Amino acid sequence: MGVHQRIDRVAKRQLRPLIPHDVHFPEIKQILHYEGKNGPDGIKRKSPAKDEPWHFINPEDPNDTALLDMITEHQENLAAALQEENMERAAFEAAWMAHAITDGLTPAHHYPFEAKLEELRGGEGIETRTSAKGKILMPGETRLESIGNNWEFWGTKGVMTTHLSFELGVAVAISTAKLTNVHHKFNGQDIAALEAHGFRKLYVDIMNEVHAMKMYDEFQKKGWTRHLAKETTKELVPLIIKAVAAGWYTSIMEYERQRA
């Protein structure tokens, strides 16, 4: 629906005047090449579940760091690509990092999706979905149980149906919005915070702020509302844009440390 591309464009605009003049950073066109069909979601549609990116995180579990570690790896790889002046690799790392950052701050990705999926699959882990059919159809020991599991996943208010409906609501809400909340715009104060405390603290703070809004809880109870639409355009997405810009700038900082 173009949500990731829109976020990346605005984040790049916010970042552009803050990039040191002697640092070559990928153009937005290069970054967007690695979204859509060439991005994490495209890989998920084409491949079995083994080794595919998993962008869910539990804000209430400090030990759930897999997504944070993935973002750190992209940041390190982007810094290395900038050092080598490999703009193609840099664009890839910037795009996939931004995608992970965005998903991790999206309320639908705070739902315990993996645990629910394993429950509906009779205890089987997500890595056992080794075919397209295995990814979209829930098994069951009997035909009746299989029908029930698939209804709980795909039916009205099902796990996946609700997830996709929320993300569709976000896409519609931002389609005509300016997304210019000046209070959340990435700026020099954020750079100072990155230098003092690092990206992970900034990201976790934003994630906790988003989680405290309880937007997904509201959506599950009431559906898409005007309040949710306003909160999405005025708070949620501007915070995500700030985090993406901060993630990219972290790689620039690491690159500058390497060449100092």
Tell me the C-alpha distance between 52 and 54, whole Å: 6
For every one of its 260 residues, what pLDDT tens digit does the chain have, with 9 covering 90 and above?
689 999 999 999 999 999 999 999 999 999 999 998 888 876 666 555 555 667 889 999 999 999 999 999 999 999 999 999 999 999 999 999 999 999 999 999 998 777 777 777 777 666 655 666 667 777 788 888 888 888 888 888 888 899 999 999 999 999 888 887 778 999 999 999 999 999 999 999 999 999 999 999 999 999 999 999 999 999 999 999 999 999 999 999 999 998 87
**Tell me, what's the pLDDT at 126?**
60
Cβ-based neighbour number of residue 183 at 10 Å: 9
Q: Of 15, 57, 90, 93, give the one whose Cα is nearest residue 206.
A: 57
3-state helix, strand, coil in the chain (%, to 5): 70, 0, 30
d(CA 82, CA 256): 10
As a whole number of angstroms, the distance between CA 84 and CA 102 comes to 27
> Which CATH number belongs to the domain containing residue 189 in this structure?
1.10.575
Which ranges in 85-142 belong to alpha helices (H)? 87-105, 113-120, 132-136
Rounded-to-integer distance, Cα 116 and Cα 73, Å: 27
Distance CA 205, CA 79 (A): 23
Angle between helices 159-174 and 143-154 (to 10 degrees): 20
Domain that holds residue 9: 3-259
| Alpha carbons 63 and 170: distance in angstroms, whole number | 28
**Whole-angstrom Cα distance, residue 219 to residue 238?**
20
Number of domains in the chain: 1
Question: Residue 222: is it exposed, middle or buried by C-beta count within 10 angstroms (0-12/13-18/19+)?
Answer: exposed
Residues with Cβ within 8 Å of residue 21, at least 6 apart in sequence: none
- C-alpha distances in Å from residue 169, one per residue of 20, 92, 165: 37, 27, 6
Element (H, E) at 194: helix 188-197
| Closest C-alpha to 67, from 247, 249, 257, 255 | 247
pLDDT at 231: 95
Give the rounded distance of the alpha carbon of 43 from its chain centre: 15
CA distance 221 to 162: 11
Does this model's pTM top 0.85? My answer is: yes
**Residues contacting residue 32 through CB under 8 Å, at least 6 positions apart:** 5, 8, 9, 95
